[in-house]
Amino acid sequence: MISPVQAQETQIEEAFDPLEDHVISLEDSPDGQTHIEIGAHGEEHVTGVFPPFDATTYPSQLLWLVITFAVLYFVMKRVALPRIGVILEERRDRIEGDLAEAERLRQKTDQAIASYEAALAEARSNAHAIAEKARTENKAKLDAERAKVEASLAKKVAAAEESIAATKAEAMGHVGEIAAETAQAVVAQLVGTVPAESARDAVAKVSKE
């Protein structure tokens, strides 16, 4: 783009604010025409006007703006945006569908858990009832058995006591005789024979005291 320049170019290069410089140059032009030549490129619009205000370029710019923007609008409206819209919609539907499916499965799981817990509670109460029944039954049986055993034991005790009493009575009956015999024997050893009769009397007398 470097090309021959007019004297004012140096001004522009040195100026701090190039826009201001342009304004000055425009005002200073003796013939009212602008002289800011900005690069005499082969095909450039060299009217010297500040480029964005160069009206000779407007028809071309408008023409190509209309063409390019119309093409862009058409492609966006007909191809690109519907395509992206469909992609986004499909994804949204898919996510919603997946969420609904997840919700359905969750409810199913909840139901399964609830029925499992109900079964568990029932089983537990059944087990309790069975245990209770078994316990009562056992207790009754045990009580009956114990009563029977106790009755038979009491009978045996009574019989034993009876026989003991009889034996004791019998034994007590013999005690006097043994003592008399012993006393007779002792006396016989000491003083000579005594009649059994007197020995018996003496024992009876002693045991009375």
Partner 1 sequence: MANDPIHQFVIYDIFSFGTIGGDGTEGSGISLAFTNSSLFMALTTLTICAYLILTTRRRGLIPNRWQLTSEMAYEFVANMVRSNAGTEGMKFFPLVFSLFMFIFIGNMFGMIPYFYTFTSQIIVTFALAMLVMTVVVAYGFIKNGPKFLKLFVPSGVPGYIVPIVTPIEVISFLSRPISLSVRLFGNMLAGHITLKVFTGFVVSLASLGAVGIVGAVLPLLMGVAITALEFMVSTVQAYVFAVLTSMYLNDAIHPSH
Closest approach of Cβ 105 to partner 1, in Å? 21
Nearer to partner 1, 22 or 203 (CB): 22
Nearer to partner 1, 40 or 129 (CB): 40
Closest approach of Cβ 85 to partner 1, in Å? 7
Q: What are phi and psi of 135, to 5 degrees?
A: -65, -45
Pick from 21, 26, 20: which is nearest to 10 by CA? 21
For 16-37, letters b (16+ CB in 10 Å) and e give eeeeebbeebbeeeeeeebebb
Nearer to partner 1, 19 or 142 (CB): 19
Closest approach of Cβ 60 to partner 1, in Å? 5
Closest approach of Cβ 131 to partner 1, in Å? 58
Instruction: List all residues 6 or more positions away from 202 whose beta carbon is below 8 Å from its beta carbon.
Output: 180, 183
Contact 5, 37 (CB under 8 A): yes
Q: Max Cα separation, the chain? A: 199
Nearer to partner 1, 3 or 109 (CB): 3
Interface residue list for partner 1 (CB under 8 A): 1-3, 5, 9, 12-13, 16-19, 22, 36, 38-39, 41-45, 47, 50-54, 56-69, 71-73, 75-77, 79-81, 83-88, 90-91, 94
